[in-house]
Amino acid sequence: MNRLLRLPPLLVLLSLACIALTAGTGVAQDAAKDGANPASRYLTGRKTFDGIGKYYFDREIAHYMTHLGAPWLDRPERDQEERPDLLMKALALKPGDVVADLGCGTGYFSWRMAQAVGAKGVVYGVEIQPEMLTHLAEKMKERGVTNVLGVLGTTMDPKLPKPVDLVIMVDVYHEFDHPFEMMAAVARQLKPGGRVAFVEYRGEDPEVPIKPLHKMTEAQVKKEMTAQPLEYVETIRTLPRQHIILFRKRAGK
């Protein structure tokens, strides 16, 4: 689902077509915050318009945006709204790095990272929608990029072909309907010392014109990662509307 508070009419219609309109209050389960019991990781509760009625660490999970919203990912104003140049500088990728762009969409960031890692590196563009991977392949062909490889993952596993140095999720994590399982799989597929970058619209800032469920606070991201073998590294605040929250795989994990 689109994340802007104010949307063009066409995108509103496309977004509404993708939302399950069943709402209501579910029966709450006992929440085991450490994720030890698969049956008790999540709560079922009040379903809001932009959410799915499923809660993790007291946060309602947002609807994901389908391939019908792909044009929004390549909107011209995105360069100024998100400053991809500043994000690339913050990531400090090196030639030869192996990167997973989880929820890559049309590859808005994938091709930039492909340039940074060079011919000896690779970027896995991971999606759960085959239609998005088709968009990705078309965009990479247009740009002449050959080191971005599309990967069809699941909602619980990115299915990466090999261990990676970095997993990046740009405005994506808050839409995972199985965040514990997905992040556990991500951690397993990181190289020793590998990094995870959460790029999320700042939930602390009411001036960021994004729907609340499509923003995340730094504190919430940190809290949810306590269930994973990841250690917090730093938060980079150079972007206009988002924060970059970095974690590293714990030694020996």
User: Domain residue spans in the chain?
Assistant: 9-62, 72-249
The model's pLDDT over 70-118, given as tens digits with 9 standing for 90+, comes to 676 768 888 899 999 999 999 999 999 999 999 999 999 999 999 999 9
Report pTM. Answer: 0.84
Mark 26-62 as b/e (b = at least 16 C-beta within 10 Å). eeeeebeeebeeeeebbbebebeebbbbbbbbebbbb
The whole-number pLDDT of residue 9 equals 37
Q: At what angle do helices 110-117 and 84-91 cross, to 10 degrees?
A: 40
Counting beta carbons within 10 angstroms of the beta carbon of residue 229, is it exposed (0 to 12), middle (13 to 18) or buried (19 or more)? Answer: middle
The whole-number pLDDT of residue 68 equals 64
Please tell me the CATH superfamily of domain 72-249, with its number.
Vaccinia Virus protein VP39 (3.40.50.150)
Q: Are strands 190-201 and 242-249 parallel, antiparallel or unpaired?
A: antiparallel
Beta carbons of 70 and 135 less than 8 angstroms apart: yes
Beta carbons of 175 and 63 less than 8 angstroms apart: yes
Give the N- to C-terminal CA distance of the chain in Å, as an integer: 35
Collapsing DSSP to helix, strand or coil, 169 comes out as strand
Among left, alpha and beta (phi > 0; psi -120 to 50; other), residue 220 is alpha
Q: Rg of the Cα trace of the chain?
A: 17
Of 3-7, 34-38, 88-92, 122-126, the one with minimum mean pLDDT is 3-7
The whole-number pLDDT of residue 135 equals 94
User: Chain-wide mean pLDDT for the chain?
Assistant: 86
The model's pLDDT over 175-220, given as tens digits with 9 standing for 90+, comes to 999 999 999 999 999 999 999 999 999 999 999 999 999 999 999 9
